[in-house]
Amino acid sequence: MKNILHYSNKNIGLLGLGTVGKAVYDEIFTNISSVLVKNLTKSRNIELSNVKITNNFQDILQDKNVETIIELIGGETPAYEYIKESIKSKKNVITANKEVMAKYGKELLELATKNKVFLLYEASVAGGIPIISPIIKDLSANEFKSVRGIINGTTNYILTKMSRENLELIEVLKEAQDLGYAESDPTSDIEGFDAQYKISILSRLAFNSDVSLDQIYLEGISSIKSKDFDYANELGYTIKLLATASINSNELLLVKVHPALIPNDVPMASVNGVLNAVEIDGDLVGTLWFQGAGAGAKATASSVLSDLIRIRNSDVQSIVNHKKTYKITSMDKHFCQYYLRLNVSDKPGVLASIAKEFGERNISISSVLQKDLYENGSADLVIMTYPSIEKDMQASIKKITNLESVFNIESMIRVESYK
Amino acid sequence: MKNILHYSNKNIGLLGLGTVGKAVYDEIFTNISSVLVKNLTKSRNIELSNVKITNNFQDILQDKNVETIIELIGGETPAYEYIKESIKSKKNVITANKEVMAKYGKELLELATKNKVFLLYEASVAGGIPIISPIIKDLSANEFKSVRGIINGTTNYILTKMSRENLELIEVLKEAQDLGYAESDPTSDIEGFDAQYKISILSRLAFNSDVSLDQIYLEGISSIKSKDFDYANELGYTIKLLATASINSNELLLVKVHPALIPNDVPMASVNGVLNAVEIDGDLVGTLWFQGAGAGAKATASSVLSDLIRIRNSDVQSIVNHKKTYKITSMDKHFCQYYLRLNVSDKPGVLASIAKEFGERNISISSVLQKDLYENGSADLVIMTYPSIEKDMQASIKKITNLESVFNIESMIRVESYK
């Protein structure tokens, strides 16, 4: 638990204690006054002794302490009514509900403006990836040409696995369900409804146009077969469920969700598994790319809680910074692999003498390439080390430079770690 | 010109009319009261008749109309003094100045808070890519583990070209200078100072720690040789100038800029030319990836102008939406390539009959693969078309389905266009 809000008021009402609800609860339970659950007697693996638990929404609505309601029930009913009633009662609302924001977003946002409360919903599209706020704020000077992306993690997981393991959808789906990546009723993901809700929300923001769901072309992934991946690959493509909203040459907006072949050599083709990615094209900024975890309890909580801080900061005059500070370390202690290129004498024993110096500092060699024998009897020697400490490497280099058989250390480049 | 501010007050002072200054001027000249230039007599290819032009900063500072000053001079002197005096005179400041924000950011931000004005600087890091605002706001609930990226377009252009064309730095640099991708004095880019300023700014934000420049390890690209790319490649890597700020296992912060080998199969290896990319690792959100144009007049103007809208919106009660709306078009008119898989009779003339139906609707075939002959005498036929209109494709498919030699159309997948 972080003290994200930097105060101890219990002014938050939480609707829903599913996976995202629990993740949010874990981070801010000291600020939660009451929690709405469906089933009061269900055993939950969390400590709930300091909050009011209820299965009656009116209890939360009438809790005078509650200034902000976080809605994490999902689905249209009863979430839509709860959000509406909360706003009418002058409570701020944070929601991850794409279905409600797609179907009733315009109405609810207007209602929030009228009631002078916040309605924030960054978590409703692409989980933890900031996409709603960048479109509204950071890129607000742009006219957009297109927004397109992979915004449903379940289908992307399924398509990735079909592609890699030569399996049919039905086989992969069962496994995805067992792993919790797909719902027991997977219709909303497989048939593209989930992506349709999300692209509807993004379209409203990027193009300032209210796009109803029946105006969005929709095709799910249920007809894709394993062999399609083989053939697509032979042609240089892979297959993804893509949601796009774009302006055509007649200044008309087309919004659609369907499986698409993606050339293997563009970044979208490498968005695999449950990852999400959104590509935005603006008249000033050009093409921007956002990629990250599109779902998951913690990633979604990241957006919900950052929205909460946004509301908190608007309430106080100066922005309170809750983050801890860090001391600075030096490069000396950095630990990584190294690539070295040396110009050496082409005689036996050179590598041994270098390896000996490295050995003194516990630096091990991972690969060696012997290159380009020159007329003067020297040769290039390329060495890749195992991860080592910078200070040791620098000390070794000094020693190695002084070896008689080493004419020059021409390059030392650190290898970036991706674990 | 867009009416980005949605009012006609001339309340902006612009410092500098270089490439970014001109791009900003082009979009908002109706809102600019006065412009500071170095040389009053220099001929500029823009219409300046409706603004005051001066080479004396005091004229702008004392212009009562000016509420916000946009600083696009660059460099430490005199920009630092101008920004400081502007803030002290209770004017909002928007700047793209990484050097000033790296060296004096802490002091200036505190001064702005004290004077209750905005000091916004999204354009100072990674040009048009939103990165400062996402760290401050959209991801504010996270503790960050690392921020790393390619944040200098000039060196990335040079390294990319060295890698692709087997050239030495000195050869590529001359060309980059001729093309305007590198300055006549390229020291700040080549030696890594530019990247150092930027990672200093990101470190302050992500880690809430003021990192002075001498605490940042710095190594430029001047020692990289063409052959290093060959050898790195043989080992499965490419070479990039990487800036990183990360917390080690002892909770210490290391900030550094140096050339790094990047495994060919991670996204950072594919960030080529003048592109920038930043990868952020947060405890809740996991790994996020932002990529786009890191420099260029329009991309930088995107950040400057979006900051301006941010200031404007904080001034008015309800947010004025300046964007035009769009009408909706239907999928019928969508234009793309198609991938089709058909189960057909394995007899001569089948392809001809299909091609004839496509021809009737002006759909041309780009590739054909004949696959999997089955025992029943049928075969799989895979067809890739040239770009065609959806309505025509749908009509053709109906006709083709009825052909005697076509047993079934098993797949029709649209090919996503990347131009």
What's the gap in Å between the CA of A357 and the closest CA on chain B? 23
| Within a domain: A314 | no
Structure tokens at A231: 């053939």
Structure tokens at B351: 């392809």
Whether residue A92 has pLDDT greater than 90: yes
B125 secondary structure, DSSP code? S
Q: How confident is the model at residue A316 (pLDDT cuts 50, 70, 90)?
A: very low
What's the gap in Å between the CA of A53 and the closest CA on chain B? 25
Interface residue A395 vs chain B (CB under 8 A): no
Q: How many domains does chain A have?
A: 3
Average pLDDT, integer, range A75-84: 97
Cross-chain Cβ contact A293/B270 below 8 Å: no
Interface residue A284 vs chain B (CB under 8 A): yes
| Within a domain: A393 | yes
Q: How far, rounded to the nearest angstrom, does the alpha carbon of residue A128 sit from its chain's CA centroid?
A: 5
Give yes or no: A198 in active site.
yes
Sign of the Cα torsion A137, A139, A143, A145 reads: negative
| Within a domain: A372 | yes
Residue A222's contacts (CB-CB under 8 Å, 6 or more residues apart) are A169, A190, A191
Whether residue A240 has pLDDT greater than 70: yes
Q: How confident is the model at residue A376 (pLDDT cuts 50, 70, 90)?
A: confident
Residues B267 and B355 in one domain: no
Write down the pLDDT at residue A318.
Answer: 38
Write down the pLDDT at residue B419.
Answer: 54
d(C-alpha A171, C-alpha B417), whole Å: 30
* Residues of chain B neighbouring A328 (CB-CB closer than 8 A): 209, 211, 215, 252-255
Q: How confident is the model at residue B321 (pLDDT cuts 50, 70, 90)?
A: very low
Structure-token match 């048939």, residue found = A191
Last residue of a domain, one of B64, B97, B124: B124
Up-side HSE of residue B130: CA atoms within 13 Å toward CB? Answer: 32
Residues B244 and B389 in one domain: no
Structure tokens at B203: 């470190």
Cross-chain Cβ contact B261/A27 below 8 Å: no
| Within a domain: B93 | yes
Average pLDDT, integer, range A66-83: 97
Residue B374's contacts (CB-CB under 8 Å, 6 or more residues apart) are none
d(C-alpha B204, C-alpha B199), whole Å: 9
| Within a domain: B117 | yes
* Residues of chain A neighbouring B261 (CB-CB closer than 8 A): 337, 339, 413-416
Interface test mutation site (partner A, options B326, B374, B382, max chain A beta carbons within 10 A): B326
With beta carbons less than 8 A apart as the criterion, state whether B371 and B379 touch. yes
Q: What is the pLDDT of residues B81-135, one digit of tens each?
A: 999 999 999 999 999 999 999 999 999 999 999 999 999 999 999 999 999 999 9
Write down the pLDDT at residue B235.
Answer: 85
CATH label of the domain that carries residue B185? 3.30.360.10
| Ranges B151-155, B159-163, B209-213: which has the least confidence | B209-213
What's the gap in Å between the CA of A175 and the closest CA on chain B? 24
Q: How far, rounded to the nearest angstrom, does the alpha carbon of residue A382 sit from its chain's CA centroid?
A: 38
Residues B50 and B137 in one domain: no
| Within a domain: A99 | yes
What's the gap in Å between the CA of A330 and the closest CA on chain B? 6
Write down the pLDDT at residue A231.
Answer: 87
Cross-chain Cβ contact A223/B333 below 8 Å: no
Residues B28 and B140 in one domain: no
- The overall average pLDDT reported for chain A is 91
Residues B281 and B244 in one domain: yes
Q: How many residues does chain B have?
A: 419
Residues A139 and A270 in one domain: yes
Q: What is the pLDDT of residues B23-54, one digit of tens each?
A: 999 999 999 999 999 999 888 888 888 899 99
Which residue, among B14, B103, B8, has the nearest Cα to B305 in the 3D structure? B14
Whether residue B320 has pLDDT greater than 50: no
State how far the alpha carbon of B91 is from the alpha carbons of B24, B84, B116, B311, in Å: 18, 10, 9, 11
Average pLDDT, integer, range A198-213: 92
Q: Which residue has the higher pLDDT, B232 or B329?
A: B232
Write down the pLDDT at residue B317.
Answer: 38
Residues B42 and B102 in one domain: yes
Q: How far, rounded to the nearest angstrom, does the alpha carbon of residue A168 sit from its chain's CA centroid?
A: 27
User: Which residues of B are designated catalytic?
Assistant: 198
Structure tokens at A74: 């999902």
CATH label of the domain that carries residue B353? 3.30.70.260
Q: How far, rounded to the nearest angstrom, does the alpha carbon of residue B248 sit from its chain's CA centroid?
A: 29
d(C-alpha A209, C-alpha B326), whole Å: 6
| Within a domain: A405 | yes
Residues B51 and B80 in one domain: yes
Residues A49 and A76 in one domain: yes
Q: How confident is the model at residue B241 (pLDDT cuts 50, 70, 90)?
A: very high
Residues B176 and B273 in one domain: yes
Q: What is the pLDDT of residues A9-49, one digit of tens each?
A: 899 999 999 999 999 999 999 999 999 999 998 888 888 88
Residues A279 and A406 in one domain: no
Q: What is the end-to-end Cα distance of chain A in Å, rounded?
A: 27
Q: How confident is the model at residue B181 (pLDDT cuts 50, 70, 90)?
A: confident
| Within a domain: B233 | yes
Residues A118 and A143 in one domain: no
Write down the pLDDT at residue B163.
Answer: 96
- Nearest Cα residue in chain A from B335: A248
Last residue of a domain, one of B293, B319, B347: B293
Cross-chain Cβ contact A293/B285 below 8 Å: yes
Q: How confident is the model at residue A320 (pLDDT cuts 50, 70, 90)?
A: very low
Sign of the Cα torsion B108, B114, B119, B124 reads: positive
- The overall average pLDDT reported for chain B is 91
CATH label of the domain that carries residue A91? 3.40.50.720
* Residues of chain A neighbouring B318 (CB-CB closer than 8 A): 113
Last residue of a domain, one of B293, B312, B345: B293
- The structure's pTM equals 0.89
Q: Which residue has the higher pLDDT, B3 or A201?
A: A201
d(C-alpha A137, C-alpha B18), whole Å: 25
List the domain range (segments joined by +) for residue B99: 12-124
From the list B287, B309, B413, the residue facing A260 with the nearest CB is: B413
Whether residue A323 has pLDDT greater than 60: no
Write down the pLDDT at residue B324.
Answer: 63
